Structure 1
Amino acid sequence: MKHIPLCIISLLFLLLQSNNAIGQTYARNGMVASSNKTASQVGIDILKKGGNAIDASVATAFALAVTHPSAGNIGGGGFLVFMDSSGTATTIDFREKAPLKASPTMFLDTEGTITKGKNLHGREATSNHIGAKSIGVPGTVAGLYMAHQKYGSLAWADLVQPSIDIANNGFPLSWSAFNWATYFDANSPITFLKDYFRKEDGALTQIGELWKQPALARTLTEIRDQGQDGFYKGVVAEEIIRFMEKNGGIITMEDLERYTAVERKPIKGTFHGYDIYSMPPPSSGGVALVEMMNLMELADLESVAFNSTEYVHLLAEVMRRAYADRAEYLGDSDFNLEMPLNQLTSKAFAKNRFDQIDRTKASVSDSTKFGQLYDGKNTTHFSVADAFGNAVSLTYTLESSYGSGMGAKKLGFLFNNEMGDFNPKPGDTDTSGLIGTDPNLIQPEKRMLSSMTPTIVAKDGKPYLIIGSPGGRTIINTVFQTVLNVIAYDMPVDQAIEAMKIHHQWLPDVIKYERHLLSPDTRKALEAMNHILVPVNSLGSLMGIQIDSSNNLMIGASDSSSPDGAAVGY
C-alpha cells in the first residue's frame, strides 16, 4: 500500500465513529472482522480491557456460538493461525475427529451403496451428512482453551462471560436469522430446530425481538468455570452421551475424554517478497493456497488484466491442478505420514505444473482420478489484530448450515455433521466430485480433510493481511484470489474481498463464477476455449484486516454477502 498523506489520515479518523466507512473500518488499537457485529464488538471490548488477539479471538468465537448459530459453534471444530508481534507463526488444529466406533464403510449398505435419508431441510441427502452418526467429536472448546492456555493473557472466565450474558439477556433477532427461524418452524423434520428459535411461552421469536438461549448459557457457564473439562467431562459430557445413546450416535464418553487439540507448524509460502502462513493438514487450505500462489508467481501478471479472459483461464487452470493434487495426496497428517507436503509447496513443483498449462485452451480433468467435496458452506471466519502487533485468523464450522440440526435441549447448542467430509466410499471417485482416495477414508480418531484456509500474510516479518472465508469447497479459491488481489493487483482489502471470484475444483470440470461480474464477451471467449461456465450468486464471505504499518493503521472489511457481518475497531 502506498504512503497515505497526514491530511488523509486525519479525515479517516473523523470517520471512525461510523462502523463502516466506504466499505472499510479504520482503527489504530485493535480490529475484529466477523460474521456478526455483536460478536465483533465482544472481541473489541476484550482488546479494550488489555487482552491480546488470542483473548479477543476466544471471546469472539464463543459469542458467535450464541449470535451466529448456523456456523459459529461449540459443537463443531476448526483451525486457528496465530502470528505474534515478533513475526513467529503457529497454528492450532481443533478439527473434529471420527469416533472410536467409526469405520470406512459405516455409511454403506450391504451392497456397498451409500445410503440416503432426509436432511434438516427435508430434502434427500446421503447418510454421511444426516443423523447422529454424522456427528464428529467436537473440537472447538478444546481448541479455544489450548489457544488461551498457551497464548492468552486475560482470565479464561472473563473471555467466556460475555457470551453467557448475551445468551441469558438475549439479542435482537436479525432478518436473516428470522428467515431461518420461520423455515425451520414450517419445514424442518428435526424437532430440535422447530423449537430452537422459540421463546419460553412457546411463541416464535420475531424480527427485532430478544432471542434468549438459557440452556446454552448454562452450558457456557460450565465451560467458564471448568475450562475444557466443562465440555468434555462432567454434566455437559454426560448429557452429550445421553443424546447419542437416544438418537443412534456413536460418540462415547471415551471419545470426549480422549479429544485433544493439536498445535502444528504452519504451511509457509512466499510470493514476491511476502510471506504466507496458513493451515497444514488436516486442512488442505494451506498446501493448495501456497501451490497456487507459486504457480501465479510464474505468470507475468503485469501483462494479465484483472478479470480478462486470460486471467480467468489462468486462474481456472491453476485451481484445477492444485485441487487434483489435493484429492490425491492430502488427509490427516497423523494418519498419513508420507504426504509430500514439501514437494507440493515447492517452487520447482510449481514450475513443472505451470509448464503444463496451455494458455489457449482448457485442460481436461481426468474423470478416472480425483475431485473434491469437503466442508459445508456454513463455515464462518473472523480476523483479529491487536495493538501489540499480534494477529489471529480463525475459521470454524458445523459443516452444513446449522450442522446436523440436532442438539440436546438441556445443552442448547447444535452438533456438527462433519463425518460427511470423509471420503464415504473407498475407491470410488467420479465426475460429480465423489472421492474415494485413501488419505481421507474414515478411521477411528482421524480428523476429516478440510478446505478451511485461515491465512496471515506477512510483510517485513509483521502481519500485513489477515484473511479467511466460509464457503465449503470454494474456501481455498476465494482466499487465494483475495490474497492475489491484495499483493499482486494492489487492491485495498475491501475491494479485494468484493472483486469478482471464480471457482474450479478439478471435478466436476466446470468454472463457477459470480454472475454479472464477467462480461458476455469474456464468457463467450472462455467457452470457445472449452471451459464450461456455471453462474452463482456469490462465492465466499470473507472477513479481512489489512495493516498499514507505515501509518499505524488497521483497515477492516466485512464481505457484503454477510448480512450481519461487521468489522469493528477502536
Structure 2
Amino acid sequence: MKDPKGVVAAGHKVTAEAAAEVLREGGNAFDAAIAAMAAATVPEFVFSSLGGGGFVMARPAGSRTSICYDFFAQTPAAKRNPDEIEFYGINADFGPATQEFHIGAGSAAVPGFVPGLYAIHDDLGRLPMTRLLEPAVMAARDGVTITALHAYLYTVVAPILTATPSARRYFAPDEKLLRAGDTYRNAEVSDTLDTLAREGPRLFTEGEVAQAITAQSRELGGHLNLEDLKGYTVERRVPLAWRYRGHELLLNPVPAASGALIAFGLALLEKLLPEGGAPDPVLLARIMEETNTVRMARGQALHEIVQDATIESHLKALAGHAPATRGTTHISIIDAEGNAAAATITNGEGNGHMVKGCGFMLNNMLGEEDLNPGGFHLWEPGTRLSTMMAPTIALSRDGALTALGSGGSNRIRTAILQVAVNLFDRNMGLEDAINAARLHVERGSAVSFEEAPWEIAFNEDERAALLEAYPEAHGWPEANLFFGGVHSARRDGNGRLEGAGDPRREGCVVLA
C-alpha cells in the first residue's frame, strides 16, 4: 500500500477495521484507538465491555511528553454487608489448567471505560465522537460472526455466560452457547452506543444507563451507587520510563503493578547479562519467580520495586542461576504522523448479569484474585485497583517507535517481558518476537511452557535444562491464549509502518 495512514494490530478484524476506517478519514491514532476500543466491545465481549475499564499509553507525535490514561476500575465508596451481596466462585476451564474467578453483582467495581474514551477524545481527538462510535453501533446492530477462538472462549467462561437468564438470552440462545460461524447481534448495546455518541458520558455517570446500573446493583446485591459513577475520575499519569539495552520503555505506572514488575524483570536481566545476549528459559523462569516474590511482598510499595536495593537483594537470590539463563484485549496503533497509542481494556470476565435494557455486562474486578492478593472483601473504599495490564511504548536508538501490550490476566507481565527480550536481546523481527514460544511461572514455582513453536527462541538442550530445573513443569503442546495475546504496531527509523497480531488470540493487522 502506498503511503498508508497508519497501522493497527488488534484481537479481532472488526476491532482493527474500526480503527482503520477512522485513520483513512483523517483521524489520528487516538481517534482510531477510541473507535477500536468501542468496537471491541461487540466481537470481543468476553474481553471488553462498556462496563469495564482500561489504560491507554499515548505518545503524541513531536512531543517529549507521553500520557498514560488510567480509566481502570475503582472500588466503590461504601461496602455493603457481606451477607447482603451476591458473590460466588466459578472455574474457567482452559483445558490443561483451570482458574477460579468470582462473579455476581457484588463482584462489580466502578467502571471507567466510557469516561476514559471521552477523556482521551477531549485531549487528543480530532474527529467527532459520533463518527468514532459509529463502527461499534453498526457492528452491534448488523451482527458479527463468531470466530473459532471466541467460540472456544465461550466454553472457557461458560459458567459466566450462562449464569443468569439475561446473559443466556444473548450468549446461549436455545440453551446452547454461541458457536463458531454463528452471528452475534445486540440491538440493546447498539442503541446504548448510539445514545452515548449523541448525549456524551453523562449517560453513564448520572443518566439513564447510570440509573439502570445502580438500580440493578441495589436489587441484586452489589456495592455500586450513583455517587460512585458520578465521582469517577480518569487519571492522566506520567508513564514509568525505563531504559533497557539503550531502548526507552514507557510502562504503566503505579498504582498499576505491571510496569514496575516488568521493569524489575528487565533490570535483573540487564545486571545478570551485562554484555547482552539472550537469556535461556531457566534464567527467564528464575526471574519470573523473583518477580512473583516481590509482587507478593505485602509491605512493599510498588515504587520501591525498581529501587537499587530491592533489585540487589533479588540478585542474591538468583546467585548460581546465571546463564547456562485476564479477560483482556489489546490494541496497538501508530499513524503516519508518528502518533502512537497502546490500549489495553478489560471487563475481567464479567459479573454474569447484563445491565437491564442496556445490552452489556458489568465487570467482576472485585472478584479477580490477582487484583485482590490480600483476600476478597478487604478492599479500601474509593481507590483504584492495581492491575497487571501493561500498555507499553518503546523508543529505540534507531528512531523506531513500537506500541505493544497484551491480554492474559497475570500472564501479561511475563508475555511483555519475553517479547521485549525477543526484540531487544534476540533482535527478532516483530512477528517472530510475538510468535516465539513462551513460559510463565505462577506462585510456588509452577512453570508452564509452550512446546511449540519452541525453536524460534530456544533449542532442545535448553528445553531439557528447563525440565531438569523444574521437573514438574507443564508443557502445552502448542501456543495457547493462556500465555497472553501481544498485538504490536511499529514505525521504524525510516518511517515504515508494520504490525503483528498474536495468533494465540487471533490477532490481526490492518494497514489503513
Letter in 2 for 1:529: A
Q: What is the CA-CA distance between 1:457 and the residue it aligns to?
A: 0.5
2:406 aligned counterpart, secondary structure: coil
* 1:568 paired residue number: 510
* 2:500 paired residue number: 557
Is 1:446 paired with 2:383? Answer: yes
In the alignment, structure 2 segments of 5+ residues that lack a partner are none
Q: What is the CA-CA distance between 1:174 and the residue it aligns to?
A: 2.8
Distance in structure 2 (CA, Å) of the matches to 1:271 and 1:531: 32
Distance change (3 Å), C-alpha of 1:476 and 1:82: same
* 2:78 paired residue number: 101
1:200-235 deviation digits (Å, cap 9, x = unpaired): x99987754543211001111221122211212211
Distance change (3 Å), C-alpha of 1:197 and 1:80: same
Q: How does 1:288-327 map to 2 (within 5 A)?
A: 288-300=261-273, 311-327=280-296
1:395 aligned counterpart, secondary structure: strand
Q: What is the CA-CA distance between 1:179 and the residue it aligns to?
A: 5.3
Is 1:152 paired with 2:96? Answer: no
Do the aligned partners of 2:423 and 2:430 also contact (CA within 8 Å) in 1? yes
Is 1:72 paired with 2:48? Answer: yes
Q: What is the CA-CA distance between 1:293 and the residue it aligns to?
A: 1.2
Q: How does 1:458-497 map to 2 (within 5 A)?
A: 458-460=395-397, 464-497=401-434
Letter in 1 for 2:392: T
Q: What is the CA-CA distance between 1:535 and the residue it aligns to?
A: 2.2
Distance change (3 Å), C-alpha of 1:220 and 1:186: closer
Distance change (3 Å), C-alpha of 1:180 and 1:524: closer
Q: Which has the larger radius of gyration?
A: 1
* 2:208 paired residue number: 235
Distance in structure 2 (CA, Å) of the matches to 1:193 and 1:411: 12
Distance in structure 2 (CA, Å) of the matches to 1:44 and 1:419: 34
Is 1:136 paired with 2:109? Answer: yes
1:503 aligned counterpart, secondary structure: strand
Distance in structure 2 (CA, Å) of the matches to 1:231 and 1:424: 24
Q: What is the CA-CA distance between 1:31 and the residue it aligns to?
A: 0.8
Q: What is the CA-CA distance between 1:344 and the residue it aligns to?
A: 2.5
* 1:436 paired residue number: 374
Letter in 2 for 1:57: A
Distance change (3 Å), C-alpha of 1:441 and 1:187: closer
Q: How does 1:169-184 map to 2 (within 5 A)?
A: 169-178=142-151
Distance change (3 Å), C-alpha of 1:301 and 1:127: closer
Is 1:339 paired with 2:307? Answer: no
Distance change (3 Å), C-alpha of 1:182 and 1:409: farther
Moved more, 384-393 or 162-171: 162-171
1:341-391 deviation digits (Å, cap 9, x = unpaired): 1x42245643443344133499xxxxxxxxxxxxx3x21111010111110
Do the aligned partners of 2:20 and 2:511 also contact (CA within 8 Å) in 1? yes
Distance in structure 1 (CA, Å) of the matches to 2:99 and 2:435: 34
Q: How does 1:506-525 map to 2 (within 5 A)?
A: 507-516=443-452, 517=454, 521-525=461-465
* 1:60 paired residue number: 36
Distance in structure 2 (CA, Å) of the matches to 1:481 and 1:324: 18
Q: What is the CA-CA distance between 1:62 and the residue it aligns to?
A: 0.3
Is 1:282 paired with 2:255? Answer: yes
1:415-459 deviation digits (Å, cap 9, x = unpaired): 11100236798xxxxxxxxx4389x94011122221111100012
Do the aligned partners of 2:162 and 2:172 also contact (CA within 8 Å) in 1? no
Distance change (3 Å), C-alpha of 1:560 and 1:206: closer
Q: What is the CA-CA distance between 1:295 and the residue it aligns to?
A: 1.5
Distance in structure 1 (CA, Å) of the matches to 2:160 and 2:342: 37
Q: What is the CA-CA distance between 1:409 and the residue it aligns to?
A: 3.9
Q: How does 1:15-414 map to 2 (within 5 A)?
A: 28-85=4-61, 86-102=63-79, 106=82, 116-118=88-90, 129-178=102-151, 188-197=162-171, 207-208=180-181, 210-300=183-273, 311-328=280-297, 339=301, 341=303, 343-346=304-307, 349-360=310-321, 376=326, 378-400=327-349, 403-414=350-361
Q: What is the CA-CA distance between 1:523 and the residue it aligns to?
A: 4.1
Do the aligned partners of 1:71 and 1:379 also contact (CA within 8 Å) in 2? yes
Q: Percent identity?
A: 27
* 1:416 paired residue number: 363
Q: What is the CA-CA distance between 1:147 and the residue it aligns to?
A: 0.9
In the alignment, structure 1 segments of 5+ residues that lack a partner are 1-12, 17-26, 331-337, 363-375, 426-434
1:295 aligned counterpart, secondary structure: helix
1:508 aligned counterpart, secondary structure: helix
TM-score (norm 1): 0.79
Distance in structure 1 (CA, Å) of the matches to 2:427 and 2:287: 21
Letter in 1 for 2:485: S
1:468 aligned counterpart, secondary structure: strand
Distance change (3 Å), C-alpha of 1:117 and 1:475: closer
Is 1:541 paired with 2:485? Answer: yes
Moved more, 440-449 or 476-485: 440-449
Do the aligned partners of 2:10 and 2:330 also contact (CA within 8 Å) in 1? yes
Do the aligned partners of 1:73 and 1:414 also contact (CA within 8 Å) in 2? yes
Letter in 2 for 1:556: G
Distance change (3 Å), C-alpha of 1:298 and 1:126: closer
Do the aligned partners of 1:116 and 1:126 also contact (CA within 8 Å) in 2? no
* 2:469 paired residue number: 529
1:45 aligned counterpart, secondary structure: helix
1:15-38 deviation digits (Å, cap 9, x = unpaired): x8xxxxxxxxxx743011111111
Distance in structure 2 (CA, Å) of the matches to 1:141 and 1:155: 15
Distance change (3 Å), C-alpha of 1:132 and 1:116: closer
Distance in structure 2 (CA, Å) of the matches to 1:423 and 1:102: 20
Q: CA RMSD in A?
A: 3.4
Distance in structure 2 (CA, Å) of the matches to 1:272 and 1:119: 41
Do the aligned partners of 2:161 and 2:171 also contact (CA within 8 Å) in 1? no
2:333 aligned counterpart, secondary structure: strand
Do the aligned partners of 1:389 and 1:462 also contact (CA within 8 Å) in 2? no
* 1:498 paired residue number: 435
Q: What is the CA-CA distance between 1:158 and the residue it aligns to?
A: 1.4
